[in-house]
Structure 1
Amino acid sequence: MTTTDASAGTILHLRFHRADFETYRELFTVLGDTTPVIQALPPDSALLDLAGATRYFGLTPAQLADRLQTRLAARYGLASTGGIGPNRMLATLAADAATPGTVHVLPDDPEESEHFLRSRRLRALPGIGPALERSLARYGIETVGDLADLPPATVQRIAGVSTGRLLHERAHGTDRRTVAQAGPPAGITSTRRFDRDVLDPAELRRALLAAATDLGARLRAAGQIARTVELQVSYADRSTTTRSRTLREPTAHTPALQRVLYELFSALALQRARVRAVTVRVGEPAAAARTAEQLTFDRLIEDARALEPVIDRAGRRFGSGAVRPAALLSPGPHARRAMGQFG
């Protein structure tokens, strides 16, 4: 946990390594002891405005960042990497350039900060995606410096008026976004841990089916639907991979959750990866009664939806899991029972 240079910046972008969903939520208690101005960037980052904290604690932003890293490491065993700059964009770019476990502080010297920004690849700027990057590359524009050297009218001609104006500002280090106070999103989580390394895709898909079944039942019991689904895969070396998706139509239906989880898992293209746990979180819950449900005209899907209230009533009367998919009747001797809790 080292820092470099002094900085006039007070925005800290902090990334947490190997934090599961529940730990990520708990981290904000520690962060809030330093500053109340925190914006969650799920699944593993946060923005902090340290302006008030520097005056209150009498410490520099770099010292506050080191203090936070030490507390997170001591309490959760988590390593973290950060960047400090005068605005959100530059703090994020500094974090991108930091050595893992350190905090990179942009220098106070304007010329050095400008050199740092100009040397970044175009994709580093917020607002530039793959398509726009390809369009700019056709004109020989490959770095932020190349973009900054163009007249504003030229950038607007390539990217459009509003986007071009925004990119011209950001290429010169201006970012008008502020740190918006927002904690981690509420959600419901289900985790399935294994007593050994699992390589069998079929067993992993059973775990995802169990999570979808668990979460669907709990959402329906609470009268809620979810708009987002997040999948976190934990490996034998304690590293993790997280993927998420925003649903076109919020849902509490098990088959819909199952389908999204299978798609997220397949997109990982894991080959011989030794998996120790899968965790699923459904987020952005809303009251189901206030949302209209779109008909699919798919007989299998509609039959499954019609059956869900029957399964839910059986679960309330005879206990959770009284009726469940046949694929879960023999989940294997090495898998533990799925565990879940409200986030």
Structure 2
Amino acid sequence: MAPSRGRAEGCSVLHVDMDAFFASVEVRRHPELAGTPVIVGGAGNRGVVTSATYEARAYGVHAAMPTARALRLCPTATVLPGDMALYAEVSRSVMALFRSITPLVEPLSLDEAFLDVSGAGRRLGDAAEIGEYLRARVFDEQGITCSVGVAGTKFVAKLASTRAKPDGMLVVRPAEVIDFLHPLPVGALWGVGAKTEEVLLRLGLCTVGDLAHVPARTLQRAVGPAAGGHLHELAWGRDPRRVVPDEPERSTGHEETFGTDVDDPAVIHRELLRLAERTAGRLRAGGWLARTVSIKVRFADFTTITRSRTLGVPTDVGQELYETARGLFDALGLDRARIRLVGVRAERLVDAGSAPRQLELGAREHGRRDAELAADRAARRFGAGAVRPATLLHRDGDRRVRDHPRG
């Protein structure tokens, strides 16, 4: 049935997300596995899941889970090693399709992107028609499915695509945003990690609607000035960010390979802190602020995963980078998986002089930044490592092989 007139009125942003991307590409390559549980990842006791079909997910299998545990949950699953070159090739083809519709394409990863289709309406119809057209083209040309969220803002479009999964599309018009957002759990909001969610739940704020009806100043006292204001805006569907096509990638970071595989979260946390502090130092030295923090985790079988989170306000403070990186790592729920390498990266860098960061610093953040600037001065005078967080002064032996800066 053709979309009704006005179905996507006021909507110009699409979030397109491939469904179980790696696993779907493998099923395309092995059609005899269609409709069966398939796991992509490392085999054996040290293997880790990187992707799984929805048939496997129905048993509780998810990314970053040890493969051995996944097979206990779903013994009939087929485990395939994966082929990143193939996935990258399929991704390039999908992104080229998106760019044939609109030049305003902002890839987030191999398998998802934002599109601003406001200029494509005369040729292809409204945003809902374009979303359906893209879904059909992706399936016809690549043999995989995708889910599409259609909305007036990036934030709502991304939530809508998640709700539409798998193989669906959801349109949320501006007049419908509040009814769509407010029943959702507070954890659905961008910027709400495990620690922030715990604070909000303690305050009795279980849904986005609960949070929306709390005064912004109350939120700011609970979670900080910048985060509180950011969450209050999102809870009312306000997100001014535009789709940024092919933004030049500026990033910096550090990663570390351990001498022996590590399965102790405390050791990983210390390493993330050290890497975050070093990355923040490079940001300050270059006059940059980071809008996004990402981590890399490589397991004993060399399977590698990355996770990222965009900050409400750009930063060059090591503690803020660390808290975000640690939240990303803890959210993986690795269950003592053996880890070979970890990395912290600051991405989507902006010039510190032109960003509003300093205006939004609270007393606590000012104190952190002042302390880190003092550490920078000490490092220049006495050498790197002259001042370090106390957590890094005592370690359980030196398990590191090498620390790799990534400019």
Cα distance in 2, alignment partners of residues 289 and 303 from structure 1? 20
The code of the aligned residue for 1:124 comes to: S
Q: Which residue of 1 aligns with 2:290?
A: 226
Structure-to-structure mapping, 1:189-338, within 5 angstroms: 189-292=253-356, 293=358, 294-298=360-364, 301-331=365-395, 332-338=397-403
Deviations 1:246-287 (A, max 9, x none): 100100011111111111111111102111111221111111
- Unaligned ranges ≥5, structure 1: 5-14, 48-85, 95-102, 107-119, 148-154, 165-179
1:3–1:104 Cα contact (<8 Å) kept: no
**C-alpha distance after superposition, 1:191-234 (max 9, x if no partner):** 01112211101100011001110110000000110100111211
Aligned residue for 1:338, secondary structure, equals strand
2-structure distance, mates of 1:93, 1:287: 41
Unpaired runs of 5+ in structure 2? 1-25, 31-50, 52-81, 114-131, 151-156, 178-243
CA positional deviation for 1:124: 2.2
CA distance in 2, matches of 1:265, 1:249: 21
Counterpart for residue 160 of structure 1: 173
- Are 2:148 and 1:125 equivalent residues in the alignment? yes
How far apart are the structure 1 equivalents of 2:278 and 2:142? 42
Distance 1:233 1:133 in 2: 24
CA change 1:297–1:329 in 2 (3 A) is: closer
Looking at structure 1, the residues matched to 267 and 158 of structure 2 have their Cα atoms a distance apart, in angstroms, of 36
**What amino acid is the match of 2:252?**
I
Paired letter, 2:289: I
Does the CA-based 8 Å contact 2:147-2:167 persist in structure 1? no
Q: Deviations over 1:101-133 (max 9, x none)?
A: xx9458xxxxxxxxxxxxx6xx72343766688
Give the CA deviation at 1:295: 2.8
Counterpart CA distance in 1 for 2:315 and 2:138 is 33
Which residue is 1:115 aligned to? none
Matched, 1:339 2:404: yes
The residue aligned with 1:41 is 107
Greater displacement, 225-234 / 37-46? 37-46
Evaluate the alpha carbon distance shift between residue 206 and residue 162 of structure 1 in structure 2; reply closer, same or farther with a 3 A threshold: same
Superposition pairs for residues 64-75 of structure 1, below 5 Å?
none
TM-score (norm 2): 0.46
The 1:91/1:209 distance shift into structure 2, 3 A limit, reads: farther
Secondary structure of the residue aligned to 1:124 is: strand
In 1, Cα distance between equivalents of 2:176 and 2:330: 34
- The one-letter code of the counterpart of 1:338 is D
Where 1:125 maps in the other structure, the secondary structure is strand
Residues 335, 132 of structure 1: alpha-carbon distance in 2 compared, 3 angstrom cutoff:
closer
Tell me, in whole angstroms, the C-alpha distance in 1 between the residues paired with 2:345 and 2:313. 17
Q: What is the aligned-residue identity percentage?
A: 31
Is the contact made by 1:93 and 1:124 (CA closer than 8 Å) also made in structure 2? no
Whole-Å Cα distance in 2 between the matches of residues 322 and 337 of structure 1?
Answer: 20
TM-score if structure 1 supplies the norm length? 0.54
Contact 2:149 2:159 in 1 (8 A): no
Q: State the distance in 2 between where 1:210 and 1:285 align.
A: 20
Q: Which amino acid aligns with 1:336?
A: V
Partner AA of 1:311 in structure 2: A
Q: How many pairs align?
A: 228
- Asked whether the equivalents of residues 256 and 403 of structure 2 are also in contact (C-alpha less than 8 Å), the reply is yes
Q: Deviations over 1:57-95 (max 9, x none)?
A: xxxxxxxxxxxxxxxxxxxxxxxxxxxxx975446556x
CA contact (8 A) 2:149 2:162 kept: no
**Offset of residue 304 of structure 1:** 2.2
Letter in 2 for 1:296: G
How far apart in 2 are the matches of 1:253 and 1:130? 29
Q: Evaluate the alpha carbon distance shift between residue 45 and residue 160 of structure 1 in structure 2; reply closer, same or farther with a 3 A threshold.
A: closer
